[in-house]
Amino acid sequence: MALVPDVPRGTVDVDGDGDSLDVRIDAAPPDVVPDEHGITLLADVMLHARADTVATVLVRGGDDVHYAALTVRDGIAELIHLERRGDHLYGARIHLIIGETLHLTVVASDFETGIAWLEEQVAVGGMGMGGGPESAAEAVPPPAVPEFETGGAFEMGPLGGGGIGGGIGGRSPGLAPAAPTPPAPAPSAPPPAAASPVPAPGAPAAGLDGATPVPTVVDAEVPSRVIAGVAFDAVVRLSLEDLVPTAGTAHKKTRARFDPSRDIEVGMQLRGLAFADGTPSVITTSLPAEGDDPRRLVFRLVPDAPGRGHITVTFTQAPVVAPLAVLALSTPILPDDADGPDGDVRVVAASVAAPPRSIADLPTLVIDESISRGRSELLITAKIGRTVVKNSVRLADKSAYVEGIYADLAEIRSAYRQTVEDDPDEAEEAADTVRREVRTLGARIAEDLLGDEVNALLWSRRRRISQLVLQTSGELDIPWEILHLVPVGTQRPDPERYFLGDLGLTRWMYGTTRPTVLPVDTSRVVAVAPDYVDHNLTLPRAREEIETLGDLLALRPRSADDPAAFRQAIADGFDLLHFAGHGRWRDAAPRGQEIAFAAFSEDHDDGSASYTDSDARRDLPELDEPQAAASAPFVFLSACDVGRLRSGATGLGGFAEAFLRGGAGVFIGCSWAVRDDVTALFVRTFYAQTLGEGATVGEAVLAARHAAREAGDLTSLAFTVYADPRAKLVRSGHAGDDHH
């Protein structure tokens, strides 16, 4: 234990697996003082991984002090914020691969501005740290690690008995094991022209070296009557003063804060509508000067066939790619011979605050989509560190493209099962074949969709990515988790596996809540594992998922035997909802997703034993302001085919959208048919990490995927996770609250 006395100091500690990690801590001299920027050195820490592992750097100090760690990886400087983990305790988890040695400098500041200054210096390459815009192909060598005096408490040695100084023993999620080199990827569609790299501005966020962010009113308007095939104007305005609706329009506004010295990108994503010829999907503007008229941006749109059209408007300022505000509008599209009053125009606005530095700086993929008549236009933005690159791609028939991916997955799984059934001794070789074929499929998706610029950036940073955030306006049906990174041009191949799912991919949908703390009152837990009357549907391991929850919470959760009881449990309110059973697409009316309860039988399928995504939308009406929800519950549907959507032209749909738009803070579902035993292992590991170890959702997902993939099955990549990766489940309530 290295103790650094006096404020703004603290006790620096490292927690990890003693069998996998060597640690040395060199405390700063006791007479060290803050520099002119208010930064105080606490300690230098050296970590060496003897196996793939995770280390937690901890500081026990004052709650009025800000803590961070500086390091260099692949020649790129990083500043890691230590987040609060309890009273007087701050920490950050760091993933290391076997053989990696990492040097960290732990610092403190009484002032947030001190850490902000340090972050800016790191980002622009100050202090000799090689920050700033990076090369997508090559990284400069890291600076030499300073020599330390050896001996005593600072001798590099094995970490035994948990963390140094008696810290709580950590649990390592590990990284992906080596995979055989796959055959060349299957031919893909001609790639679209990639956009040139977008240079990130000089400061890491609005307001650090620019002007103070200014409160701004933004709004969007559409005509109150929209006719199929008849073009209309959707107008977006930005103003320093309040905005008055234009007569004859449906209108919604919200407030955001923008840096007046930076450009603002206003983007529009459509479903059931198309951009008229010559209309861009993104318009760059700036704030009006004080006293000037509002900025007025016009997007010319053409409605598809009668139905409903959806518009999402995003406002962003580089270098942060997360939106500073989002406006969503939904309007009926009437036939050209429609008479009578205007339709039901819904305007739903979600004001999104500037993202916290700790998530804005995570590796990010932004997927903005407009879809019309089955044609999808994807704008993909990748941001890692200070580098931002973009690619646009068109899918002429998105539904066919996505269904083709799932058909390939089904064929791979079917061949594996057939091989094992014919000769169980061939199971290991068959599993290797599965891994190669899925890797090839994932590489093909990367080449189809990402383009050279994005692929090159992701490949060059592949060993540094541990928590990748995918943000989207509503693209929910492509299985991004199985996308496999690929080298471009002269970049060297790597035999290890780099599926996005293995790199900690979590998703976030614009306009939905993004909590980092999800209280779980033990009296508000609903857990269902149907005992199917049709024995062909029996899932022997599903009950283990419920038992795991009960053991961790020290209670028997509330259950629901049928859809009516399930609906009542939702109406009564819940903090955690877990369903372990069968799910499927329903092709008969009403079409959509459904989960099956105990009385379900395919021979007598009248819908009475199923709960559908339409039911969820009725029971959880969309919130106008997600941040105003009374709670942001956790939802885990451990059932096949409920984590993805079938592509459609005029709306989202599915359980993910219904629960997230209805206020859920986290949603986890499965994108395809999964193995009962491996699914139970994933679930047990996830809850053991979150409820048992206090891990974040992102950390728990990494651990659960690692455990599941050891079974040699695709199930580890089947789970889609919509969450802030920093989110934590925090138990409350009393163990004596027992529901039957």
Structure confidence by residue, pLDDT tens digits, 47-79 = 999 988 889 999 988 777 889 999 887 667 788
Q: What is the pLDDT of residue 8?
A: 52
Structural element, H or E, at residue 81? strand 76-81
Beta strands 364-372; 89-96: pairing state = unpaired
Q: What is the pLDDT of residues 12-31, one digit of tens each?
A: 999 998 888 999 998 888 77
Mean pLDDT for the stretch of residues 235-257: 90
Q: Which residue has the higher pLDDT, 694 or 466?
A: 694
Mean pLDDT for the stretch of residues 665-681: 89
Quick one: tokens of 407?
């058909």
Structural element, H or E, at residue 585? strand 582-586
Answer whether residue 472 shows pLDDT above 70: yes
Mean pLDDT for the stretch of residues 416-431: 87
- Cα–Cα distance between 207 and 17 in angstroms, integer? 40
Answer whether residue 200 shows pLDDT above 80: no
Q: What is the pLDDT of residue 115?
A: 80
Backbone angles phi, psi at 691, to 5 degrees: -85, -25
Please name the amino acid found at residue 92: A
Instruction: Outline where DSSP puts E strands in 279-410.
Output: 282-285, 295-303, 307-317, 320-333, 346-350, 364-372, 375-384, 387-395
Beta strands 320-333; 307-317: pairing state = antiparallel
- Cα–Cα distance between 628 and 421 in angstroms, integer? 53
Answer whether residue 160 shows pLDDT above 80: no
Q: Are 599 and 533 in contact (CB under 8 A)?
A: yes
Q: What is the pLDDT of residue 87?
A: 79
Mean pLDDT for the stretch of residues 656-680: 89
* Closest by CA position to 281, among listed 304, 325, 249, 314: 314
Domain with CATH 3.40.50.1460 in the chain: 513-732
* Closest by CA position to 99, among listed 191, 175, 6: 175
Helix (H, G, I), strand (E, B) or coil at 432: helix
Give the pLDDT band of residue 686 (cuts 50, 70, 90).
very high
- Share of residues in the chain with pLDDT > 70 (%): 77
Q: Are 343 and 312 in contact (CB under 8 A)?
A: no
Helix (H, G, I), strand (E, B) or coil at 342: coil
Q: What is the pLDDT of residue 488?
A: 96
Q: What is the pLDDT of residue 642?
A: 62
Query: Minimum mean pLDDT among 62-71, 173-182, 496-505, 671-680: which range?
Result: 173-182
Q: What is the pLDDT of residue 185?
A: 39
Domain with CATH 2.60.40.10 in the chain: 214-355
Domain 513-732 fold is Rossmann fold (3.40.50)
Query: Minimum mean pLDDT among 29-38, 342-351, 383-392, 614-623: which range?
Result: 342-351
What is the torsional sign of CA 350, 353, 354, 359?
negative
CATH code assigned to 214-355: 2.60.40.10
Quote the pTM value: 0.69
Q: Which residue has the higher pLDDT, 246 or 451?
A: 451
Q: Which residue has the higher pLDDT, 644 or 110?
A: 110
Quick one: tokens of 544?
């283990």
Q: Are 71 and 12 in contact (CB under 8 A)?
A: no
Quick one: tokens of 226?
């929209």
DSSP-assigned states of every residue in 397-464: THHHHHHHHHHHHHHHHHHHHHHHHH-GGGHHHHHHHHHHHHHHHHHHHHHHHTHHHHHHHHHHTTTT
Give the N- to C-terminal CA distance of the chain in Å, as an integer.
Answer: 48
Q: What is the pLDDT of residues 172-182, one digit of tens each?
A: 222 223 333 33
Work out the mean pLDDT of the chain and round it to a whole number: 80
Mean pLDDT for the stretch of residues 498-510: 91
Answer whether residue 145 shows pLDDT above 70: no
Q: Which residue has the higher pLDDT, 198 or 53?
A: 53
Quick one: tokens of 609?
């034993």
Give the pLDDT band of residue 404 (cuts 50, 70, 90).
very high
Give the pLDDT band of residue 347 (cuts 50, 70, 90).
low
Cβ density class 449-480: b for 16+ within 10 Å, e for less: bbbbbbbbbbbbbbbbbbbbbbbbbbbbbbbb
